[in-house]
Chain A
Amino acid sequence: MIRLEQVSLRAGTFRLTDVSLEVPAGGYALVIGPTGCGKTSLLEAIAGHVPVTTGRIFLQDRDVTSVPPEARRIGFVYQAYHLFPHLSVRANISYGLKDDPAAGRRVEELATMLGIAPLLDRSPRGLSGGEQQRIALARALAPRPAVLLLDEPFAAVDPAMRRMLRRELQDIREREGVTILHVTHDVDDALRLGDLIAVLGNGRIAQAGPPEEVFRYPESAFVADFLGAGTVLKGTLTRTGEREKTTRRFPARFESGGLQLEVIAEREGGAYAVIRPEDVLVSRQPFPDYPRNRFAATVHRVERLGPVANVHLDASGQRLMAAITAATVDTLALRPGDAVSIAIKATAVHLI
């Protein structure tokens, strides 16, 4: 279990303010944010390398705020791995086991699990990024830490290796029962790995929660924009109908440039609308089932990403993006410049 209570710190040019976060025992949390937002400083504070100015840090219900790093039972994998160059792979992995009589067996077990057993008697010099990564992981896991801190662990590996490591990290969490806090700037990692994500921006946690929820309901334009949750439109809300008694919500019109959307709103005035690409429907014919939020649009660009494709559209001067299957793109024979009909469900427009 990792619990941060209003942690503030300053490390060099980085500053974190009032960071509160709780990762349950055995949980996998991702801290995601733009490069240079202080993510590494946060990990170093949890590890005890960087002192906090205010707030408390709890690990396994123990207040470790003033405990030195060596007594925190933490595994830390740095982005650049930082293997000890003067020690063999085996000595690197067993480093934290000191005089443990079972050290040999533990090293073999981890090396087998991570597929690095043939490297044990080599020097870490000259090994590939993926190999070094696994050695660093095995070294951090060897003393059975309660908490594993990962700093951009996929930054230097190719996409195939990245997919493999993602699976392995999930396995490791289950086998070792370790609580993982993983720092990344990659939205994909956040969606695929975490049971909890926290978006860090300007030294604060902008939003935290289960990944689907944060993606579905970003609480600020910064989060929506950073996560690429969809097209973020800036506009104004005008009430068009009666306020509903229980939900206090009302039908409204959202206007942004030449685009008008019928939406369900809670307030009037300036607002951001987030439209997720998968909620934008594309067709050659007008949508008879959608009396509202139907638009004529022009295909600007088709971006194929394997089985899905992002279709960039121009609707009344506003850029929108629709995510549809590659098969649909072929069926509709979409080409730049084509005129199409698009439709957006009123409930799919997320207002901030």
Chain B
Amino acid sequence: MESIASAQQTGLSLGVARSSPGFGLLGAFLGALLVLFIIGPILRLLWASDPATLAAAAGDPEIRAAIVLTVLTASVATGMAVLLGAPLGYLLARRQFPGRTLLRGVLDLPVMIPHPVAGIALLLFLGRHSPVGGALAAMGLEVVSHVPGIIAAMLFVSAPLVVSGSREAFASVDPTLERVARTLGDTPWQAFRRITLPLAGRGIVTGALLAWGRSVSEFGAIVILTYHPKVASVLIFDRFTLSGLPGAVPAATLLLLVALAVFILLRILEPPAERAR
């Protein structure tokens, strides 16, 4: 009882302290530690290679091929995730249907599963001797150990980010706005295109950006499904095991630069912030 009482008192005094500058300073100090921990390694990596080494790495055909392959496959996977996942996000946000909560849980699974485990599951599901993989192979689409395997692994791990991002984005648009648009002569599709989509757009783009980043960074599932052709993360791991840091660092720095460049570019191109309420 005493400990509870004292805990409550502590809570109370924290509540009072919240308005004092001391609390803000403490928060800023703790936050700064975390920010340094994140920025430190990134800056260290950027500084690890001199420009000449980086230029040499950029000229290495194997590194170039891996980075191009990574960017392309991540973009295709993100496009597929938006095409298939954004409508699902809309349904989850707006419609009541049986099993909705279960479906949300299922869509969160890829985030919880260790990625090599996801890779093994995908291998069992899409391998040549499985019904699905066999059917795809019969249609001429080789998945495992081919480019589609990379895209499949990326889609599996990143699609939930698009679904949850667009679900939140659509949920933040007040359905009454659509009703107003309807009384002003819009069909349901026109109201969606003129009101809902522009207002949810930023949230969907944010989800897609996260999915793209997640795809570029994927390693565990890809290395099991498609070791060859090598995406950048697989190549970097390869070089690290073969020749240690000196072999891995230039490729790692290049991949980091490419990813950062794409992120910054997309953030600049993004439509201005819209608040839906």
Q: Which A residues lie at the B interface, using CB under 8 A?
A: 44, 47-49, 68-70, 72, 74-76, 78, 80, 82, 84-86, 95-96, 98, 125, 139-140, 143, 145
Contact = CB atoms under 8 A, between A and B. Distances in A.
Interface in B175-189: 176-177, 179-187
A68 B277 CA distance: 26
A96 B182 contact: no
Query: Which label, helix, strand, loop or mixed, suits the secondary structure of the A interface?
Result: loop
A85 B182 contact: no
Given A86-B199, A139-B184, A143-B185, A69 B274 contact: no
B276 interface: yes
Contact of A82 (B180, B186, B187, B275): B180
B176 A84 contact: no
B69 interface: no
Contact of A125 (B183, B194, B275): B275
- B contact residues, range: 20 to 34
Contacts of A72: 183
Contacts of A145: 183
A85 B195 CA distance: 9
19 contacts: A49-B182, A69-B179, A69-B183, A70-B187, A72-B183, A75-B183, A76-B183, A82-B177, A84-B195, A85-B199, A85-B277, A95-B194, A96-B184, A98-B185, A125-B275, A139-B180, A139-B184, A143-B185, A145-B183
Contact of A78 (B180, B182, B198): B180
B174 interface: yes
B176 A78 contact: yes
Nearest to A95: B184
Interface in B133-187: 174, 176-177, 179-187
Q: Max chain B CB contacts within 10 Å: which of A44, A82, A125? A: A82
Nearest to B175: A49
Given A82-B174, A85-B199, A85-B277, A76 B185 contact: no
Given A82-B174, A85-B274, A76 B179 contact: yes
A27 B49 CA distance: 80
A75 B177 CA distance: 13
Contacts of A80: 176
Contact of B179 (A49, A95, A125): A49
